[in-house]
Structure 1
Amino acid sequence: MTAPTSLHDLPAAERDLLDRIAGLAEGFAAEAGGFDERAEIAVGNLDVLHEAGLDAAVLPAHLGGTGLSYQAFGEAVRILAAADPSTATIVTMHSGAAVGLAELTRERQGGFFADELLAGKRFANALSEPTSGNRFLNPQQEARRAEGGWLLDGTKRFVSGSEIADYLLVNALVDGEPTFFAVIPDETVTIIPIWDTLGLRATRSQLLSFSDTLLREEYRGRSPRPGDFAAVPAGLPAISLGIADAALASLVDHARGRAILGKPLSHQQWIQHEVADAQSRLEAVHAFFQRTLAEADAGRPEFFSNLSRAKYLANKIAVDVAQLGVRVGGASGYLKQSPIQRHLRNAQAGQLMAYSTEVLATEIGKEVLGVVETPENEEVA
């Protein structure tokens, strides 16, 4: 089948799924502020998305799903993020962990994890370590050999949705090599209750402690390969773009509805100029992201590098639009009950997710400048 080149070219089944998600997202948006205030996972959102067929769609066809295109997946996450970015983040990480485990353990487990995903079980990524920085695929914690597998002592941070996860995707060093496992949370896996963040509060992306946790031989997986469905890299730019969409919508609502000296704020020229710049840049980033997802659907190798650029640009524009919203909102937008301040807090989170904007800027800059590293770790042009 020819890969779609735009959202209009998506198969009818994918367009129908996006329509269902958009309808659900309207309800999510109405409740997002409350879940954020309580730092509570919107489990009901996840349940209805599963019932709507999102999990089955994300699972590749060779694993028993329907194989959602990258373009449709990116659009689904963007729609969700505009409504409730915490839900969108958990969906992204859940999809990455579930499809990852189904793919990486396929030779040992057959279709077990694919069937669990289709049955509605929840998955979470437990890859990032406090000492590994952005390099979440390169763990520093060494697992030691034990009967039936390996034992892991250490912590994994920012595990979105960990409190409701039936399975974790965990990595550790085995004989010096990064190795991936499925872990069923038990008494050896505990939550360190430090979750009190500025933004994306309803992800409850906790810090997990592993104490002699058995990484079972039968749950060991292979390393990721080109061609595996890259749900997390594809979802991260979409989260920031959805936040930017929401921030711009709130800004516009405020500017139209707030009158100063007898005229709506929207009549002020400086606001018109700033909004023109922000909206145009946001559309440009959207277009680049959609082109990149079309490259992914077409199997072009450059798509992965361009996903990094898309994340960098999306993170930046989300913060810029959210900050403009605060400027336009003034003191009213700074109040806790205003959605403008929530969009600002949420926008900051995208820049911190691996790979952070600083790491991405370094990698992109090196590529553009032709900088390579020597074996002695010196940089030359």
Structure 2
Amino acid sequence: MSDAYDNTLELNFDVLPGELEKFRLRVREFAQDVVAPRVQDLDAAPADDFDWDMVTQGHSIGLTRVAIPRDYGGLGFGMLGAAVALEEVATVCAGTALIFGAAMLGQAPVLLSGDPRLQARFLPLFSGDAPVLACNAVTEEEAGCDLIIPDNAVHARDVMTARRDGDHYVLNGRKRFITNAQVANFASVFANMEGFPGATGLTSFMVPLDLPGVVRGPVADKLGYRLCLGSELTFENVRIPAENMIGDEGDGMAINIAQSNMARASVAGISTGVARGALALAIDWCDTRVQGGRPLREHQFTAAKLAEMTSKVDAARLLYLRAAHKVDNELPAPQYEPAVAKYFADRVAIDVADLAMSLAGARGYLKSFGLEKRLRDAYGARIYEGTPEVLALAITESLYDEERA
């Protein structure tokens, strides 16, 4: 055996570095002690019901500022910390995880900007005594994927507009399906500069949502992720200072791609959490349910399903940990690893929840068991931050990228 490799070095994929491991355990305690007792009632509540107390308790342990650098009052754990934390919360409730995940996404363009003045103005606001939430306003009625695929930009239709007016920009348009829009203090908003076809002049702005002309629409009544609120944002001649522009005019497409490459690792963490929660229910059920004189887990068909489920959950976690680590250590954030992690984990969430349902039988079909909610939630991540089709394009593009080869 070659001595070129020091096999005494330990690669431990189960314990995170120092303070991050302690943070993960605090988040796990929050998920189990604060979120879990409320989930069933909140999931069944009217679509516009929102638990500010739960969010406040999550804020108190740092879930609204995980990725913000310590210089600006954040925890400084980057995307690795965000992904790990969101897995813990999503193991109990994906919707609660997305409240905090959407807030992080709203912060992402400012983090990516590298502009110390912009960062100093906005990032410390998320570290006060009371929770401050953000949202990321990209999607529109006629424009979704066209705002993230550069070759599609010219074909985008009816995109929200921005017009320069002295030392301000004037925004007009409507955004749809925006998580946290109903409760956020700020939105990172993407609008196309007037005079540019499609979305070829896409530009990003940080917009306080208490400005005149901002209208929050009704909350959508969703299949899953019911604990986070998704709604419309309408902008009617909203004037924002030019200093609120992120980057330069026309940088919006690049910023949107970069923030997606950042966020996909954390969304993969959410999907991994959904799968892990479903797996935990299945493990407990198969240990206590007796058929043919033996616990279900001792039957070959059941054992095969449990083995498949746990293998997929572990693989999904390893993929998102790799992706998040690369996002935190490479500039620009890579496209391939986050896309692969999300592509895989999103499918795993659905597959594992479905297999758990087949093992639980009639019990799994009951709301009180907690599994049918996880199955509903499992489908959500296939929509936001890249559908399987968009992710497949990103992955395949990377496979043929000469620089990657």
> SS state of the match for residue 234, structure 2?
strand
**Displacement after TM superposition at 1:151 (Å):** 2.5
SS state at 1:282 partner:
helix
Q: TM-score, normalised by structure 1?
A: 0.86
The alpha carbon displacement at 1:21 in A equals: 1.0
Structure 2 residue aligned with 1:329, among 329, 348, 360?
Answer: 360
Are 2:202 and 1:178 equivalent residues in the alignment? yes
Deviations 1:291-315 (A, max 9, x none): 2223333327674321001000000
Counterparts of 1:298-313 in structure 2 under 5 Å?
A: 298-299=329-330, 303-313=334-344
Change (3 A) 1:363 1:106: closer
Question: Which shifted more, 321-330 or 102-111?
Answer: 102-111
Offset of residue 56 of structure 1: 4.2
Deviation at 1:126, TM superposition (A): 1.3
> Residue 40 of structure 2 corresponds to which residue in structure 1?
33
Distance change >3 Å, CA 332–CA 9, structure 1 → 2: closer
Aligned counterpart, 1:268? 299
Give, in angstroms, the shift of residue 19 of structure 1: 1.7
Residues 315 and 67 of structure 1: CA distance in aligned 2, closer, same or farther (over 3 Å): same
Query: Which of 86-95 and 10-19 deviates more?
Result: 10-19
Is the aligned partner of 1:74 residue 2:105?
A: no
Paired position in structure 2 for 1:375: none
Distance 1:105 1:172, change over 3 A: farther
Cα RMSD, aligned residues only? 2.9
Change in 2 beyond 3 A, CA 1:253/1:8: closer
Q: What secondary structure is seen at the aligned counterpart in 1 of 2:175?
A: strand
Residue number in structure 2 paired with 1:59: 68
Corresponding residue number in structure 2 for 1:221: 246
For residue 279 of structure 2, what is the aligned residue in structure 1?
Answer: 248
List per-residue Cα deviations over 1:226-275 (Å, max 9, x = no partner).
Answer: 99896523311111000000111112222223333544333332111122
TM superposition shift of 1:123: 1.1
**Structure 2: how far apart are the matches of 1:212 and 1:354?**
28
Identical-residue share of aligned pairs (%): 25
Measure the CA separation in 1 of the matches of 2:245 and 2:202: 11
Instruction: Provide the residue aligned with 2:20 in structure 1.
Output: 14
CA gap 1:342/1:54 in 2 versus in 1, 3 angstroms: closer
Point out the more displaced range, 345-354 or 114-123.
114-123
Counterparts of 1:56 and 1:124 in 2: how far apart (Å)?
Answer: 14
Change (3 A) 1:225 1:159: closer
Please say if residues 128 and 135 of structure 1, whose CA atoms lie closer than 8 Å, have aligned partners that are also in contact. no
The 8 Å contact of residues 102 and 111 in structure 1, kept in 2 or not, is answered as: no
1:1-381 matched pairs, under 5 angstroms = 10-27=16-33, 28-38=35-45, 39=47, 40-61=49-70, 63-101=72-110, 104=113, 106=115, 108-109=117-118, 111-119=120-128, 120-137=131-148, 140-146=159-165, 148-175=167-194, 176=196, 177-186=201-210, 187-193=212-218, 195-222=220-247, 223=251, 224=255, 232-299=263-330, 303-368=334-399, 370=400
State the TM-score, normalizing by the size of structure 2.
Answer: 0.81
Question: Structure 2 unaligned runs (5+)?
Answer: 1-9
**Inter-partner Cα distance in structure 1 for 2:94 and 2:284:** 19
Which runs of at least 4 in structure 1 moved beyond 6 Å after TM superposition?
Answer: 225-230
The C-alpha deviation readout for 1:62-101, integer Å capped at 9, x for no partner, is 5453421432221111111112211111111101212433
Note the residue ranges of structure 1 that are not aligned, 5 or more in a row. 373-381
**Structure 2 CA distance for partners of 1:110 and 1:364, relative to 1, 3 Å:** closer
SS at match of 2:161: coil
For 1:237 and 1:281, how far apart are their aligned partners in 2?
Answer: 12
Q: Deviations over 1:164-219 (max 9, x none)?
A: 21111111012532111121224522233251111111111112222222243231
2:5 equivalent in structure 1: none
